[in-house]
Amino acid sequence: MQRKIRWGIVGLGKIAQHFANDLKLVEDAVLAGVASRSEAKAKEFAHKNGAAHYFANYETLFKSDEVDVVYIATPHTFHKNIAINAMKSGKHVLCEKPMGINRLEVEELLKVAEENKVFLMEALWSRFNPTIKKALGLVENGTIGKLKYINADFGFYAMDRPLESRLFNLDLAGGTLLDIGIYPVFLSYLMMGKPKDIAAFSNFNEHGTEVQTSVIFKYDGGQAILNSSFANETRMNAELAGTDGSIFLHPRWHESQGYTIKTSEGTKEVNLPTEGKGYTYEIVEVHECIKKGQLESNLWSHQNSLDLISLLDAIRNKTGVRFPFES
């Protein structure tokens, strides 16, 4: 019987818990170890989720022979250094999005992955969502004709949260764009590629944190209108409109459980419920790549991560989003 792939988790917050829950649904996966800067938190998380080992610091987990691949679920600003340390210890890495704060960070991560011959993937779980994969196939095979328009939003009200929270803390790269705006930008890039031109506008709170951003991507013969916000709740819909029909991803579209397609043949609703929360699909992709000896995914490649962060950089340059730690 083939040995299970042994996972370690770093950063034990809400997303890590969702990931740990879904890890149990993947037959050849096992949660071997978890790490936190708080030993008590690591111990509690390990006991709750059946991990054999817990560590009071990340470095001890990276040096452990009990872990094959590390899932990094810390705030954005810690991704680069933690991922680099893990890879230099010979661990494969699945790093939460965005993999880096800017293109320079992502380039450095890819260089370290190449030097150490380890697998590295940005944990953009929506890329592996069954509904989004199906929608991409329908676009690519021409079912709705030539894609001309995308509309995608991601917004929830967070203005009542403390200014020092992760969402607003500039030292943690707070703001909507890297946290949730990445999803609409990803969808447009996935479906239509890199735009020819970008228009973007942001609103900021009194401390200079971006709290709402609207973007227009201009393509040859098409456009995408994208929005992210902490200032208001949005419908969380996504529409892909072509010359011969439209696809509507059901809310919340980034973790959609189905879609509606409208063509000349009529309207059809399709339900595609995810297994668990939906992290199972990216876990399976990591496993398949590791078993094949691949150092990157064909579905979400290193180049895809570079392209995505380049688009986010371009939007930030248009809107003036800056973080204190950036030179």
Report the DSSP pairing between strands 210-219 and 222-229. antiparallel
Segment 57-69 shows an average pLDDT of 97
3-state secondary structure of 218: strand
Q: Give tens-digit pLDDT for 281-301.
A: 999 999 999 999 999 999 999
Provide the pLDDT confidence category of residue 218 given band limits of 50, 70 and 90: very high
Segment 128-147 shows an average pLDDT of 98
Please give the Cα distance from 262 to 49 (Å, whole number): 43
> Does the pLDDT value for residue 140 go beyond 60?
yes
| Partners of 151 in beta bridges | 225, 239
DSSP string, 88-137: HTT-EEEEESSSSSSHHHHHHHHHHHHHHT--EEEE-GGGG-HHHHHHHH
Predicted confidence at residue 108, as pLDDT, reads 98
Helix, strand, coil percentages for the chain (3-state, nearest 5): 40, 25, 35
Predicted confidence at residue 115, as pLDDT, reads 98
Cβ-Cβ contacts under 8 Å for 85 (sequence gap 6 or more): 58, 59, 62
| Alpha helices for 153-271 (secondary structure H) | 176, 182-192
Q: How many whole angstroms from its chain centre is CA 93? A: 14
Q: Give tens-digit pLDDT for 167-215.
A: 999 999 999 999 999 999 999 999 999 999 999 999 999 999 999 999 9
Q: At what angle do helices 14-23 and 280-292 cross, to 10 degrees?
A: 60
> Does the pLDDT value for residue 250 go beyond 90?
yes
Token pair, residue 315, equals 């939007």
Asked if residues 37 and 82 have their Cβ atoms less than 8 Å apart, the reply is no
Q: Which residue has the higher pLDDT, 1 or 62?
A: 62
Token pair, residue 56, equals 């009071």
Provide the pLDDT confidence category of residue 312 given band limits of 50, 70 and 90: very high
What phi-psi label fits residue 32: left (phi over 0), alpha (psi between -120 and 50 degrees) or beta? Answer: alpha
The average confidence (pLDDT) of the chain is: 97
Cα Dmax for the chain:
60
Q: Give tens-digit pLDDT for 80-122.
A: 999 999 999 999 999 999 999 999 999 999 999 999 999 999 9
Among 55, 59, 62, 190, CA closest to 122: 190
| Partners of 203 in beta bridges | 212
Q: Give tens-digit pLDDT for 150-178.
A: 999 999 999 999 999 999 999 999 999 99
Predicted confidence at residue 3, as pLDDT, reads 87
Provide the pLDDT confidence category of residue 316 given band limits of 50, 70 and 90: very high
Provide the pLDDT confidence category of residue 263 given band limits of 50, 70 and 90: very high
